[in-house]
Amino acid sequence: MGQRFTLLLIFLGVQVGAGAFKICAFNIRSFGRAKAANRRVMGALVQILSRCDISAIQEVRDSRGAAIQTLLRELNRYDPSHHYSRLESKRLGRGSYKEQNIFVYRMDVVSVTDWCQFGDEDARNYKAFARGPFAARFHSPYTAILDFVLLLHHTSPREAAQELELLFGVCTELMQRWKTENVMLLGDLNAAGAYIPASAWAGIRLRNHLAFHWLIGDGEDTTVSHRTCCAYDRIIVHGEELLGAIVPRSAKPFNFTQALGLSEEEALAISDHYPVEVNLRLAPKAQREL
């Protein structure tokens, strides 16, 4: 990739902010110590994630936590204008396979005021999830909306339709618990292709209830491989205040293959998913300060 690649990465880093607050969800396929030790992969991940004020990361596999520590260290080294921190879910999964959901965020721009892990043993209503959803409440004085909730979930492919329906209840519970309407559900929901039969959509309230807005459309491609074209990864918004704070037409996959000038093989070494992202408008005062 050479000098052209390096210059392009620097250019992407300069674009951070650009009058908006960026949230992304990224399934970094099997992120663990092997990827953390790969300088080329980590270099690309840092460039991708440093574009975002909050990154909702999925498929973190390292049980010792060393991989995410390395990622945080490299992010803070690359972008010293911000300080990146993290909020981790439990290790999730029914059997020996476990993974984590992790929010990586700029703690000088946004703070976590509360969090909630669903699917614990005493939460009988949510045992059907293969991996319990993870929610966090955020506050930022810089955005057009001060407080909002992010609900991060990675559905089981075989149970995607059932889990999408269950997520309606999770969103409802969060709104009641935290007394807010402003909830954004995001992540690898496997909400496309053979995982959701056409006949199943009619029974998914999250899809049909008018209060929920699907910002990543069915026609988007969130997959890296040329052999697939599916909108597995989604961003779904509830709450008119939150919806009104979103920059129009900002919700989209970030095609890092094209942006970083990678081959398909190089891109797949990073992940088989593209991040999905959306921008929140800055508060008027923040536009002058940031």
Q: Is 154 among the catalytic positions?
A: yes
Q: Is 153 among the catalytic positions?
A: no
Contact 87, 105 (CB under 8 A): yes
Catalytic-labelled residue, pool 74, 99, 220, 277: 99
Contact 92, 131 (CB under 8 A): yes
Residues in CB range of 70: below 8 A, 6 or more apart: 36, 42
Catalytic-labelled residue, pool 82, 153, 154, 273: 154
Residues classed as catalytic: 99, 154
